[in-house]
Amino acid sequence: MSLISPACRDALQHWLDTQRALAGRAENTITAYHTDVVEFMSFMTVHFGATQGLAPLARIGVPDMRAWMAQMRADGIGPRSLARKLSAVKSFYRWLAEREGFEPTAVLSTRAPKFQRKLPRPLAEDAARAMIDTVELQSTKPWIAARDMAVVTLLYGCGLRISEALSLTGRAAPLPATLRIRGKGGKERLVPVIPVARASVDAYLRLCPWPLEPDAPLFRGARGGPLNARSIQAVMAKARMQLGLPATATPHAMRHSFATHLLEAGGDLRAIQELLGHASLSTTQAYTAVDTAHLMEVYNRSHPKA
């Protein structure tokens, strides 16, 4: 017995196509949506003892939702992952209810489990600078040392994701004062490029043995192909061991550091949201909690009555 009816499978594919085309969702997000909704439908098939078509899906009630969530928790799914799965199911149901004309309240009113939101783990300013300097010392080949330093400088100096930095092509060189970045979901943003970042990339390009081609990767691997993110992760792992930094000192931590240090210097939260390419301000607001935590730490350490 198939766990998903052809009608449900077709509806799901139609919704995913809509998410891809109209909402601009990234392929990784589309894959996660597909997995989560298929998992949900499969559970309902077993739960009701029959393959669920579109009509039975419309009759799912609160007890059924509770049963699904209880099974997910029993399977070892954590609160954060379950909240993500529920969000995917709700999004699909909102679309399906509008298309099929049924009331989705039972699904949409289901509360996500509470979980402790993980705060970003930025580096201190001196640690971020030390990381950039130490990364440069990890390779005996000057061009590779310059390359690694240039990438990490872009992560910290411009707040780029590692995937965004490595997706730059030769057409971006020499780096302009403002760089157009295509981020998650194909969303574009303008990012100022500070002089030290431009100088770092220029230094790398002068030493790089591979020709600068408009459609080729800006950052090359040792054999001339695209630079892999794992190479930057590995070189930062070596550097953080030398500096005595925690395992959280990763490429993404440099982006966190960029945002946190801007906020600490009085940067506007909306402006930081635009620079990071966050679709929602609530994502950026996590940095206010980091800043508050830092302020409380300073207070507790410094105030005579703390």
The catalytic site residues sit at 161, 184, 252, 255, 278, 287
Evaluate the CA torsion angle 132, 137, 142, 147 in order and state its sign: negative
| C-alpha distances out from residue 155 to 31, 52, 258, 270, Å | 27, 47, 8, 20
As given in the structure block, the two tokens for residue 228 are 């892999």
Gap between the Cα atoms of 196 and 165, Å rounded? 15
Distance in Å from the first CA to the final CA of the chain: 66
| C-alpha distances out from residue 130 to 88, 188, 194, 219, 292, Å | 41, 31, 18, 22, 24
Neighbours of 100 (CB within 10 A): 13
Contact of 23 with 91, CB cutoff 8 Å: no
Cite the DSSP H helix spans in the chain. 6-21, 27-48, 54-58, 62-74, 79-100, 105-108, 125-135, 142-158, 162-166, 195-207, 229-243, 251-264, 269-276, 281-284, 286-302
Gap between the Cα atoms of 68 and 85, Å rounded? 11
